[in-house]
Chains A and B, each alone.
Chain A
């Protein structure tokens, strides 16, 4: 569903993403881990067409993102790390707007919006303007907008930002639920617990390079072999002066 081939991004002389190769299949929950500045957000910006790769290709649901960006974007639901909302529009109006741009029918927008707003317990707020929303409510509105058109691929940068534990649980549940119906979820985070709990596979990015990739079980196996947990493995692999220890599987 997401195919990344030889993806490279350079900012001047700095290599932000270094020849990344990755295949995320239909219905898979992929956790993208890495320390701050590892290149996660840069990769996500390239995946959603907000940044062009210096080299390499991206395919979303078999569509070349560079050649057909609009068609590819129709397949994606995206939640950025610092989302934008029109302050003077209510959550419902914002959803109507987003639904229209994703070419949804009016009735379909209403049905999906009602379901999602109710699910995220936003119904009593959804007709108030976003200027009065808390950080968590803004995040829930953006997540709702990303899920509205039932995208084939959901790409989320730091999903739990601003969410309380209850809302966080709701989000985790719906994302997991969506993968069961064939949606691919690509989540970038530096919170190990989320990746460990939800991911079918985890990729660890450090200094722009994918230094480890495998199922949770596989990575845990590697960690246990060294007498450590997933956190220990992550810290060891992403240590600044760590030797070449690529564990790609």
Chain B
């Protein structure tokens, strides 16, 4: 314990200095970060407050819907926290110089594990708090919570709720590296991803979206019975249910129910902690050793096959690129494929997207003549695609320049100019991004049975959004490039990454608003005979053009000039 306390003391001292450095530039950075954080917090608070207030106004089912929103949000958070803990632990508990250093010291491996587990929990959780805290604060505000209710909620509810997925995610990663001794990591990760996908599919099947007919939305009785049917499948053994039930009980001041649910959270946390520490004592160091000891010799069988199929590998699909750009593309693709923390997260996101598409296909969207709903759902889908693209851009495009890392000197001293590097990164990201985005848009539009014109319009919107988001992420990635950090997840969640995320989401919101407004007015014109002038479409086009000119050219210009001015490599 003494050694652990010492490790933690010095780690905290080190971390404190990362954030609080009494120099003007650092103070400015703290002020900017705080302002962005507060803005994000305030925006999320306002958004949730608006929704809860609206739901609160629906007397018959308002509170029921509110609780359902919280429960679904907490379930989503719970799943995302498990995934982020799992993915980030690959580079904190295992592939890390700091971990290797701590393991070389004369202290029990458990101390290293606990110190790095705490790091991992902080890295994986802080972004979640930016959404969860305003959600819960606005829920409390709508229900006129008093201080002790907030205190119980955050200390007895939220802390265990965050720690449970942390233990589960890290537990999975311990097993993953332990099993790595027996099979390739890709097999384990694919099995895990398939398991998660299956679990989510089963869950969504159990919720049965087909039973919700949009044409009956206004019928409260049907909706009520639908919500009751959802209740039946809200497994009462899941932490998000305990949390939301505890929250509901806190609102009703039903202390018995509060104690039962919060105790369930607390005891589960303690139990999982105990299990995790036991597991770590058995497998952590063995798993760490396995992560360090990669087989370097290729199996003879693999070599034979490679030789036989060699002609397939000789064809170079990138022959049309200049040699230096081709080298950059090949290097980036290889590094991406060989970095489990990169492709594992990408695969998980893709699987979630496929699940989204599958469930979109199951929605009863014939919507017999309901133009308004069709428009709403079309633009909700457009916004969702934008949100996904923004997430992907911040997570994968933003870190791409920083990921050159300590090796930036090899490019800096090579005939490949930084300008070429910058445009190369932008080009690769944009092409991959555009293909993915258009596939997503096409599939989701097909699932929604959109007309040809709407398909073309959203396809065009997605093209512009891909260009805008890639420019934003590449430009900001160059402005906030951090060549000393090797973990792409940490680069994406840095202050620069946060700012890029906010700007990207703002850009998506503006794009959706600009495109949706004239379409909405046109729909109202068709259904209710409200005035509509083609001038409104022209205005929207001008606004969209202006927005994209700013979003595309400004970050690229600033990013490029910032990169060319850098001298820290």
Task: Give me the interface of A with B, judged by CB distance under 8 Å.
Answer: 11-14, 48-52, 70-71, 73-74, 76, 78, 80, 82-84, 86-89, 93, 97-98, 100-103, 129
Please tell me if the beta carbons of A14 and B297 are within 8 angstroms of each other in the complex.
yes
Does B292 sit at the interface, judged by CB under 8 A? yes
Please tell me if the beta carbons of B104 and A73 are within 8 angstroms of each other in the complex.
yes
A-side contacts of B299, CB under 8 Å? 12-13
26 contacts between A and B (CB under 8 A): A11-B295, A12-B295, A12-B296, A13-B299, A14-B295, A14-B296, A50-B100, A50-B292, A51-B293, A80-B100, A80-B104, A84-B100, A86-B14, A87-B14, A88-B13, A89-B14, A89-B17, A97-B10, A98-B105, A100-B6, A101-B7, A101-B106, A101-B107, A102-B105, A102-B106, A103-B106
A84 is contacted by which of B98, B292, B293, B484 (Cβ under 8 Å)? B98
B-side contacts of A88, CB under 8 Å? 13-15, 17-18
B-side contacts of A87, CB under 8 Å? 14, 484
Known contacts A12-B297, A101-B107; can you find 6 more A-B pairs with CB under 8 A?
A12-B294, A14-B295, A14-B297, A50-B292, A51-B293, A88-B17
B-side contacts of A89, CB under 8 Å? 10, 13-14, 17
* Residues 1 to 49 of chain B near chain A (Cβ within 8 Å): 3, 6-7, 10-11, 13-15, 17-18
Bound Cα distance A12, B182 (Å) = 11
B-side contacts of A78, CB under 8 Å? 104
Please tell me if the beta carbons of A49 and B17 are within 8 angstroms of each other in the complex.
no
Does B237 sit at the interface, judged by CB under 8 A? no
Distance (Å) between the CB of B480 and the closest chain A CB?
18
A42 closest partner in B (C-beta): B293
Distance (Å) between the CB of A133 and the closest chain B CB?
13
Task: Give me the interface of B with A, judged by CB distance under 8 Å.
Answer: 3, 6-7, 10-11, 13-15, 17-18, 97-98, 100-101, 103-108, 289, 292-297, 299, 484
B106 is contacted by which of A50, A70, A93 (Cβ under 8 Å)? A70
A71 closest partner in B (C-beta): B106
A97 is contacted by which of B6, B289, B293, B294 (Cβ under 8 Å)? B6
Bound Cα distance A14, B293 (Å) = 11
A99 closest partner in B (C-beta): B6
- The 5 A-B pairs at the shortest CB distance, nearest first, are namely A12-B295, A73-B106, A14-B297, A88-B17, A84-B101
A-side contacts of B104, CB under 8 Å? 48-50, 73, 78, 80
Most chain A Cβ neighbours within 10 Å, of B97, B104, B297: B104
B-side contacts of A83, CB under 8 Å? 101
Please tell me if the beta carbons of B105 and A73 are within 8 angstroms of each other in the complex.
yes
A101 is contacted by which of B105, B297, B484 (Cβ under 8 Å)? B105
B5 closest partner in A (C-beta): A100
Please tell me if the beta carbons of A13 and B10 are within 8 angstroms of each other in the complex.
no
Bound Cα distance A51, B100 (Å) = 10
A45 closest partner in B (C-beta): B292
A-side contacts of B289, CB under 8 Å? 51-52
B101 closest partner in A (C-beta): A84
A142 closest partner in B (C-beta): B101
Bound Cα distance A44, B13 (Å) = 31
B19 closest partner in A (C-beta): A88
Please tell me if the beta carbons of B7 and A11 are within 8 angstroms of each other in the complex.
no
Bound Cα distance A180, B10 (Å) = 34
Bound Cα distance A78, B100 (Å) = 12
A74 closest partner in B (C-beta): B106
A-side contacts of B6, CB under 8 Å? 97, 100-101
Most chain B Cβ neighbours within 10 Å, of A49, A103, A129: A49
A-side contacts of B108, CB under 8 Å? 70
Bound Cα distance A86, B12 (Å) = 11
A-side contacts of B296, CB under 8 Å? 11-12, 14
Please tell me if the beta carbons of B13 and A93 are within 8 angstroms of each other in the complex.
yes
Please tell me if the beta carbons of B294 and A11 are within 8 angstroms of each other in the complex.
yes
A54 closest partner in B (C-beta): B293
A48 closest partner in B (C-beta): B104
Please tell me if the beta carbons of B295 and A13 are within 8 angstroms of each other in the complex.
yes
Distance (Å) between the CB of B397 and the closest chain A CB?
27
B103 closest partner in A (C-beta): A50
A102 closest partner in B (C-beta): B106
A-side contacts of B105, CB under 8 Å? 73, 98, 101-102
A73 closest partner in B (C-beta): B106
Please tell me if the beta carbons of B297 and A11 are within 8 angstroms of each other in the complex.
yes
B17 closest partner in A (C-beta): A88
Bound Cα distance A14, B295 (Å) = 7
Please tell me if the beta carbons of A86 and B106 are within 8 angstroms of each other in the complex.
no
B292 is contacted by which of A13, A51, A73 (Cβ under 8 Å)? A51
A149 closest partner in B (C-beta): B106
Bound Cα distance A97, B289 (Å) = 25
Please tell me if the beta carbons of A86 and B294 are within 8 angstroms of each other in the complex.
no
A-side contacts of B17, CB under 8 Å? 88-89, 129
Bound Cα distance A98, B295 (Å) = 33
A-side contacts of B292, CB under 8 Å? 50-51
Distance (Å) between the CB of B149 and the closest chain A CB?
39
Bound Cα distance A71, B104 (Å) = 12
Bound Cα distance A13, B294 (Å) = 11
Bound Cα distance A97, B101 (Å) = 13
A86 closest partner in B (C-beta): B14
